Structure 1
Amino acid sequence: MEKLCLRNQVCFKFYALSRYITALYQPLLAALKLTYPQYLVMLVLWETQPISVKDLGHQLMLDSGTLTPLLKRLEQKGLLSRKRSTEDERKVEVSLTEKGILIKQTASCIPDQLNQAMAIDANDFQQFNTILTKLMKQIPD
Protein backbone atom coordinates (compact mmCIF):
# COMPACT_ATOMS: atom_id res chain seq x y z
CA MET A 1 0.00 0.00 0.00
CA GLU A 2 1.38 3.37 -1.04
CA LYS A 3 1.30 5.68 2.02
CA LEU A 4 1.24 8.89 0.03
CA CYS A 5 -1.57 7.95 -2.32
CA LEU A 6 -4.73 10.08 -1.99
CA ARG A 7 -7.09 7.08 -2.04
CA ASN A 8 -5.26 5.66 1.01
CA GLN A 9 -5.64 8.80 3.11
CA VAL A 10 -8.27 8.46 5.87
CA CYS A 11 -8.27 12.23 6.34
CA PHE A 12 -9.33 12.76 2.72
CA LYS A 13 -12.14 10.23 3.04
CA PHE A 14 -13.44 12.04 6.15
CA TYR A 15 -13.15 15.39 4.40
CA ALA A 16 -14.98 14.23 1.27
CA LEU A 17 -17.64 12.37 3.26
CA SER A 18 -18.23 15.38 5.49
CA ARG A 19 -18.77 17.62 2.47
CA TYR A 20 -21.08 15.03 0.88
CA ILE A 21 -23.22 14.60 4.00
CA THR A 22 -23.44 18.34 4.58
CA ALA A 23 -24.63 18.73 0.97
CA LEU A 24 -27.28 16.04 1.56
CA TYR A 25 -28.63 18.10 4.45
CA GLN A 26 -29.11 21.28 2.40
CA PRO A 27 -32.40 20.37 0.68
CA LEU A 28 -33.70 18.76 3.89
CA LEU A 29 -33.01 21.93 5.88
CA ALA A 30 -34.37 24.27 3.20
CA ALA A 31 -37.93 23.71 4.47
CA LEU A 32 -36.82 24.94 7.89
CA LYS A 33 -34.81 27.80 6.38
CA LEU A 34 -31.78 26.66 8.35
CA THR A 35 -28.16 26.20 7.41
CA TYR A 36 -26.36 23.08 8.58
CA PRO A 37 -24.51 24.91 11.42
CA GLN A 38 -27.81 26.49 12.53
CA TYR A 39 -29.39 23.03 12.56
CA LEU A 40 -26.60 21.80 14.84
CA VAL A 41 -27.34 24.63 17.27
CA MET A 42 -31.03 23.73 17.21
CA LEU A 43 -30.24 20.06 17.89
CA VAL A 44 -28.42 21.01 21.08
CA LEU A 45 -31.20 23.37 22.16
CA TRP A 46 -33.89 20.75 21.55
CA GLU A 47 -31.99 18.58 24.02
CA THR A 48 -30.90 21.16 26.60
CA GLN A 49 -32.20 24.61 27.38
CA PRO A 50 -31.49 27.05 28.70
CA ILE A 51 -27.82 26.60 28.01
CA SER A 52 -24.93 29.01 28.33
CA VAL A 53 -23.20 30.17 25.17
CA LYS A 54 -19.99 28.70 26.61
CA ASP A 55 -21.55 25.24 27.12
CA LEU A 56 -23.22 25.37 23.70
CA GLY A 57 -19.88 26.20 22.08
CA HIS A 58 -18.24 23.35 23.97
CA GLN A 59 -20.81 20.82 22.76
CA LEU A 60 -20.54 22.03 19.17
CA MET A 61 -16.76 22.47 19.33
CA LEU A 62 -17.13 26.07 18.17
CA ASP A 63 -15.51 29.20 19.54
CA SER A 64 -17.59 32.24 20.46
CA GLY A 65 -16.44 34.11 17.34
CA THR A 66 -18.11 31.46 15.19
CA LEU A 67 -21.07 30.78 17.47
CA THR A 68 -22.18 34.36 18.14
CA PRO A 69 -23.12 35.17 14.50
CA LEU A 70 -25.02 31.85 14.29
CA LEU A 71 -26.98 32.72 17.41
CA LYS A 72 -27.69 36.23 16.13
CA ARG A 73 -29.16 34.87 12.90
CA LEU A 74 -31.28 32.31 14.75
CA GLU A 75 -32.48 35.05 17.09
CA GLN A 76 -33.40 37.24 14.09
CA LYS A 77 -35.44 34.31 12.74
CA GLY A 78 -37.30 34.21 16.05
CA LEU A 79 -36.10 30.72 16.96
CA LEU A 80 -34.16 31.54 20.13
CA SER A 81 -33.48 34.24 22.64
CA ARG A 82 -30.30 35.22 24.43
CA LYS A 83 -30.18 36.90 27.81
CA ARG A 84 -27.72 37.52 30.58
CA SER A 85 -27.86 35.12 33.49
CA THR A 86 -29.47 36.55 36.61
CA GLU A 87 -26.92 34.62 38.69
CA ASP A 88 -23.81 35.72 36.78
CA GLU A 89 -23.98 38.69 34.39
CA ARG A 90 -20.93 37.41 32.53
CA LYS A 91 -22.91 34.36 31.33
CA VAL A 92 -25.28 34.57 28.39
CA GLU A 93 -28.00 31.93 28.33
CA VAL A 94 -29.72 30.72 25.18
CA SER A 95 -33.30 29.43 25.13
CA LEU A 96 -35.69 28.42 22.40
CA THR A 97 -38.71 30.52 21.60
CA GLU A 98 -42.12 28.98 20.97
CA LYS A 99 -41.30 29.02 17.23
CA GLY A 100 -37.99 27.27 17.89
CA ILE A 101 -39.74 24.56 19.88
CA LEU A 102 -42.41 24.08 17.22
CA ILE A 103 -40.03 23.47 14.31
CA LYS A 104 -38.65 20.41 16.09
CA GLN A 105 -41.70 18.50 14.86
CA THR A 106 -40.94 19.44 11.25
CA ALA A 107 -37.27 18.55 11.72
CA SER A 108 -38.00 15.15 13.24
CA CYS A 109 -38.05 13.45 9.81
CA ILE A 110 -34.60 14.74 8.80
CA PRO A 111 -32.48 11.91 10.29
CA ASP A 112 -34.56 9.24 8.52
CA GLN A 113 -34.45 11.18 5.25
CA LEU A 114 -30.69 11.50 5.52
CA ASN A 115 -30.29 7.77 6.19
CA GLN A 116 -32.37 7.00 3.09
CA ALA A 117 -30.31 9.40 0.99
CA MET A 118 -27.09 7.76 2.16
CA ALA A 119 -28.40 4.30 1.23
CA ILE A 120 -26.64 2.52 4.08
CA ASP A 121 -28.29 -0.25 6.06
CA ALA A 122 -29.08 0.21 9.75
CA ASN A 123 -26.38 -2.19 10.99
CA ASP A 124 -23.61 -0.55 8.96
CA PHE A 125 -24.82 2.86 10.04
CA GLN A 126 -24.77 1.84 13.71
CA GLN A 127 -21.24 0.40 13.40
CA PHE A 128 -20.04 3.52 11.62
CA ASN A 129 -21.61 5.73 14.28
CA THR A 130 -19.98 3.68 17.05
CA ILE A 131 -16.53 4.05 15.44
CA LEU A 132 -17.03 7.79 14.96
CA THR A 133 -18.06 8.15 18.60
CA LYS A 134 -14.87 6.38 19.70
CA LEU A 135 -12.79 8.67 17.51
CA MET A 136 -14.61 11.79 18.76
CA LYS A 137 -13.81 10.86 22.36
CA GLN A 138 -10.12 11.20 21.50
CA ILE A 139 -10.49 14.89 20.60
CA PRO A 140 -9.01 16.96 23.44
CA ASP A 141 -11.26 19.48 25.19
Structure 2
Amino acid sequence: MDEFMCFVLYSAQRAMTSAYRPLLDKIGLTYPQYLVLVALYENGPSLVKTLGAKLHLDYGTLTPLLKRLEANGLVARRRRADDERLVEVSLTEEGVALRRRANDMVPSLDAAMGLTDEEIEQSKALLRRLTVNITTRTDEPPGRV
Protein backbone atom coordinates (compact mmCIF):
# COMPACT_ATOMS: atom_id res chain seq x y z
CA MET A 1 0.00 0.00 0.00
CA ASP A 2 2.76 2.48 0.85
CA GLU A 3 4.00 2.29 -2.74
CA PHE A 4 0.78 3.92 -3.94
CA MET A 5 0.88 7.71 -3.92
CA CYS A 6 -2.90 7.84 -3.53
CA PHE A 7 -2.71 5.86 -0.28
CA VAL A 8 0.11 7.98 1.12
CA LEU A 9 -1.89 11.14 0.36
CA TYR A 10 -5.05 9.64 1.82
CA SER A 11 -3.22 8.65 5.01
CA ALA A 12 -1.64 12.09 5.37
CA GLN A 13 -5.00 13.80 4.82
CA ARG A 14 -6.66 11.63 7.46
CA ALA A 15 -3.83 12.30 9.92
CA MET A 16 -4.06 16.05 9.35
CA THR A 17 -7.83 16.09 9.73
CA SER A 18 -7.55 14.02 12.92
CA ALA A 19 -5.04 16.50 14.33
CA TYR A 20 -7.45 19.37 13.62
CA ARG A 21 -10.55 17.64 15.01
CA PRO A 22 -10.01 18.12 18.79
CA LEU A 23 -8.95 21.73 18.29
CA LEU A 24 -11.93 22.50 16.05
CA ASP A 25 -14.29 20.73 18.47
CA LYS A 26 -13.31 23.35 21.07
CA ILE A 27 -14.60 26.14 18.83
CA GLY A 28 -17.58 24.19 17.48
CA LEU A 29 -16.47 23.71 13.88
CA THR A 30 -15.96 20.84 11.51
CA TYR A 31 -12.89 20.85 9.26
CA PRO A 32 -14.87 21.81 6.11
CA GLN A 33 -16.57 24.64 8.04
CA TYR A 34 -13.15 25.84 9.19
CA LEU A 35 -11.92 25.88 5.58
CA VAL A 36 -14.89 28.02 4.52
CA LEU A 37 -14.16 30.51 7.29
CA VAL A 38 -10.46 30.63 6.39
CA ALA A 39 -11.37 31.32 2.75
CA LEU A 40 -13.63 34.18 3.89
CA TYR A 41 -10.93 35.51 6.24
CA GLU A 42 -8.48 35.57 3.34
CA ASN A 43 -10.76 36.85 0.56
CA GLY A 44 -13.58 38.73 2.25
CA PRO A 45 -17.18 38.37 1.06
CA SER A 46 -17.35 35.80 -1.73
CA LEU A 47 -19.86 34.33 -4.11
CA VAL A 48 -20.93 30.76 -3.32
CA LYS A 49 -19.62 29.76 -6.75
CA THR A 50 -16.20 31.30 -5.99
CA LEU A 51 -15.99 29.59 -2.59
CA GLY A 52 -16.85 26.25 -4.17
CA ALA A 53 -14.11 26.63 -6.76
CA LYS A 54 -11.53 27.73 -4.19
CA LEU A 55 -12.34 24.86 -1.82
CA HIS A 56 -12.96 22.25 -4.54
CA LEU A 57 -16.48 21.69 -3.21
CA ASP A 58 -19.58 21.23 -5.33
CA TYR A 59 -22.75 23.22 -4.73
CA GLY A 60 -24.53 20.24 -3.14
CA THR A 61 -21.80 19.90 -0.52
CA LEU A 62 -21.18 23.60 0.07
CA THR A 63 -24.78 24.77 0.47
CA PRO A 64 -25.63 22.65 3.56
CA LEU A 65 -22.29 23.62 5.05
CA LEU A 66 -23.07 27.31 4.58
CA LYS A 67 -26.56 26.84 6.01
CA ARG A 68 -25.06 25.35 9.20
CA LEU A 69 -22.54 28.20 9.48
CA GLU A 70 -25.36 30.70 8.98
CA ALA A 71 -27.55 28.97 11.60
CA ASN A 72 -24.61 29.22 14.01
CA GLY A 73 -24.38 32.95 13.35
CA LEU A 74 -20.92 32.85 11.72
CA VAL A 75 -21.79 33.80 8.14
CA ALA A 76 -24.56 35.63 6.31
CA ARG A 77 -25.80 34.75 2.83
CA ARG A 78 -27.39 37.40 0.66
CA ARG A 79 -28.56 37.49 -2.94
CA ARG A 80 -26.76 40.15 -4.94
CA ALA A 81 -28.92 43.17 -5.77
CA ASP A 82 -27.43 43.42 -9.27
CA ASP A 83 -28.03 39.73 -10.05
CA GLU A 84 -30.34 37.76 -7.77
CA ARG A 85 -29.01 34.47 -9.15
CA LEU A 86 -25.75 35.13 -7.31
CA VAL A 87 -25.44 34.52 -3.57
CA GLU A 88 -22.70 36.26 -1.62
CA VAL A 89 -21.38 34.91 1.67
CA SER A 90 -19.78 37.13 4.29
CA LEU A 91 -18.59 36.77 7.85
CA THR A 92 -20.74 38.07 10.68
CA GLU A 93 -19.22 39.78 13.72
CA GLU A 94 -19.22 36.39 15.46
CA GLY A 95 -17.44 34.85 12.50
CA VAL A 96 -14.77 37.54 12.57
CA ALA A 97 -14.34 37.11 16.34
CA LEU A 98 -13.88 33.36 15.90
CA ARG A 99 -10.82 34.02 13.73
CA ARG A 100 -8.69 34.89 16.76
CA ARG A 101 -9.57 31.60 18.46
CA ALA A 102 -8.97 29.66 15.24
CA ASN A 103 -5.59 31.32 14.71
CA ASP A 104 -4.46 30.07 18.12
CA MET A 105 -4.60 26.50 16.75
CA VAL A 106 -2.07 26.99 13.97
CA PRO A 107 1.19 26.88 15.98
CA SER A 108 0.31 23.57 17.68
CA LEU A 109 -0.63 22.01 14.34
CA ASP A 110 2.58 23.22 12.72
CA ALA A 111 4.54 21.67 15.58
CA ALA A 112 2.62 18.39 15.28
CA MET A 113 3.76 18.01 11.67
CA GLY A 114 7.38 17.83 12.79
CA LEU A 115 8.63 19.51 9.61
CA THR A 116 10.83 22.54 9.16
CA ASP A 117 9.35 25.66 7.59
CA GLU A 118 11.30 24.85 4.43
CA GLU A 119 9.95 21.28 4.34
CA ILE A 120 6.41 22.57 4.79
CA GLU A 121 6.82 25.03 1.90
CA GLN A 122 8.38 22.34 -0.32
CA SER A 123 5.56 19.92 0.51
CA LYS A 124 2.88 22.49 -0.27
CA ALA A 125 4.54 23.39 -3.57
CA LEU A 126 4.76 19.73 -4.61
CA LEU A 127 1.15 19.04 -3.63
CA ARG A 128 -0.08 22.13 -5.51
CA ARG A 129 1.82 20.98 -8.61
CA LEU A 130 0.46 17.45 -8.24
CA THR A 131 -3.09 18.83 -8.01
CA VAL A 132 -2.68 20.96 -11.13
CA ASN A 133 -1.07 18.09 -13.04
CA ILE A 134 -3.81 15.63 -12.17
CA THR A 135 -6.72 18.01 -12.75
CA THR A 136 -5.42 19.25 -16.11
CA ARG A 137 -4.17 15.97 -17.53
CA THR A 138 -7.00 13.92 -18.99
CA ASP A 139 -5.34 12.41 -22.08
CA GLU A 140 -3.80 9.33 -20.43
CA PRO A 141 -5.12 6.71 -18.05
CA PRO A 142 -3.58 7.07 -14.59
CA GLY A 143 -0.59 4.91 -13.69
CA ARG A 144 0.43 3.96 -10.19
CA VAL A 145 -1.22 6.66 -8.14
Matches within 5 A, 1:16-31: 16-31=11-26
Matched residue type, 2:70 = E
The CA RMSD measured in Å over matched residues stands at 1.1
Matches within 5 A, 1:13-52: 13-52=8-47
TM-score by length of 2: 0.88
User: Counterpart of 2:143?
Assistant: none
Matched residue type, 1:125 = I
The answer on 1:69 being equivalent to 2:64 is: yes
Higher relative contact order by CA 8 Å / sep ≥ 6: 1 or 2? 2
Partners of 2:91 and 2:9 in 1: how far apart? 32
User: Counterpart of 2:94?
Assistant: 99
Deviation sequence 1:11-49 (CA, Å, 0-9, x none) = 100011111110000011122110000000001010122
> Aligned with 2:28: secondary structure?
coil
Partners of 2:127 and 2:3 in 1: how far apart? 18
TM-score by length of 1: 0.91
Partners of 1:122 and 1:48 in 2: how far apart? 24
User: Counterpart of 1:3?
Assistant: none
User: Counterpart of 1:108?
Assistant: 103
Partners of 1:49 and 1:127 in 2: how far apart? 28
> Aligned with 1:7: secondary structure?
coil
Gaps of 5+ in 2: 137-145
User: Counterpart of 1:129?
Assistant: 124
**2:50 paired residue among 50, 55, 62:** 55
Matched residue type, 2:11 = A
Structure 1 stretches of 4+ moved >3 Å: none
Deviation sequence 1:73-92 (CA, Å, 0-9, x none) = 00011000001000100001
Q: Percent identity?
A: 44
Partners of 1:51 and 1:19 in 2: how far apart? 28
